[in-house]
Structures are given as structure tokens and as C-alpha cells.
Structure 1
């Protein structure tokens, strides 16, 4: 495993979507990609190996995606987070802005994976908004 590559973590409870994102992003050989089904498991994994970008569903079992995002960013376990969700909860999204999640970081399902890839590349190159 090449530890010099940027690390991505997918936090998605729907197995099919999680697998699609993982396979798509892993094909590019420009990232180390892992995927888990819950915020709790993601935090545990990130404590051992922090991520550059996390792609997070908001509706997760147990810890919801917003709580995960706040925790991962606050503790430095992830540098930036993208939201990949089927729910456009404006209040929740407004709350996430306070921890650095912008409108460009929110992708409503279904979305073209190339859009997510482009945003990841922007974030990793230092282009935020």
C-alpha cells in the first residue's frame, strides 16, 4: 500500500452505494480508499490512519453523518468532508457550514461520480471554493 497517496474514507450504510463509490474511486490509483458502514467504525479506523477526505452519508445507523463530520473534523481525523446524501436537510447543512462544509461539498443522490471525483481533486489540490 502506498502511504504517500491521499487517503479517502467512504462512510455509507447502503452496501451497494458504498461498493460503487469504492470501486469507482479505487480505479484511479491516485488514492488509498477505504469504506465503512457507520460513523462509529469510521472514527475507530481513522484513529489509526486519518483521512484527507471523507465522503459521508447523513443518514447512518447509530451516529448520524453530521455528528461524524463534526467529530472527525474537530479531532483532525479527516481534513475535509463531502456529504453524499438523499436528504437535503437545510438546517443540518447550514449547521455543517460552521465546520467548513460548503455547498460545493454536498452531493444529492443520485449524482454522477465524476462530480465527486472532481471535487475531491479540487480539495486535494488546495482549491476550496
Structure 2
């Protein structure tokens, strides 16, 4: 278990998911962990967030109405390369493509729904934040 740190209280996490129950419950869990959370139900809405550049980590669903999560991650990386990403998907056959691997995503950062141990989100977010500082 990763210990909570003061850095979390200013660490912003974006939760991008078109399913309201998943989006809100994950955002609430992350707030309980001490993170500042932003939410969006579509990639288009997320890209318009004024605080997007100050997000440390984005938790992104793949299947979204309109622009999908993969295209969002690629655009986010172009606009704000310091923002790290985690993929949260219900697509059991999902595989990272080379472009996503080049951005820095690994299989460990792909979480398949339903995630039974929510603590993995806190652990991976803290790891991603630490990567961004090194």
C-alpha cells in the first residue's frame, strides 16, 4: 500500500468515462485518496477543460461516444505531453498499439473493468506522478 503524501492534495486527476456511475464513483474514490479530481463524459468535453494542462494523470475509458479514448490520449499527449495516462476499459481484447507505447504506456497501465481492488488506481497514479517529477 502506498502511503498518502501531501503532494496528493494538489495532484489533479482527470476521470474520462461516459458511464456516469463509473465516472462518479472513481472520482469520489480518488478524492477520498486525497487527489483533486476533474471529470468528463466525452473526449471532446475533456479537451475543452481549462485545467487540462495542470492534470497530472488522466484515467481514460476507451469506448466513448464521438472521439474514442485512444485518440484522446494521442491528442492530449500532443497538447500536454507531461500529462500521464491510465487506460480503464471494459474491452477485454484491448491491446496497446505502438503509438501508445511510444507515448509511454505499458500493459501495467491498462486496467480492465471491473477493477476489484480500487487501490491499484492510487498506486499507479502515485507512480505516474513520481515519473513526471524525475
Is TM-score (shorter-chain normalized) higher than 0.5? yes
Q: Post-superposition shift, 1:120? A: 0.4
Large movers: runs of 4+ above 2 Å: none
- 1:25 paired residue number: 30
1:125 aligns with 2:134: no
How many residue pairs are counted as aligned between the two chains? 119
- Mean Cα displacement is larger for which, 70-79 or 97-106? 70-79
After TM superposition, give the deviation of residue 73 of structure 1 in Å.
0.9
**Which structure 2 residue ranges, 5 or more long, are not aligned?**
1-8
Separation in structure 2 between the aligned mates of residue 77 and residue 38 of structure 1, nearest angstrom: 20
> Partner residue of 2:6?
none
Which secondary structure state, in structure 2, belongs to the residue aligned with residue 82 of structure 1?
A: strand
| Offset at residue 77 of structure 1 (A) | 6.5
2:74 is equivalent to residue 70 of structure 1 = yes
TM-score (norm 1): 0.85
Q: TM-score, normalised on structure 2? A: 0.82
Aligned: 1:34 with 2:38: yes
Residue equivalent to 2:4: none
Instruction: Determine which of 31, 53, 56 is the counterpart of 2:57.
Output: 53
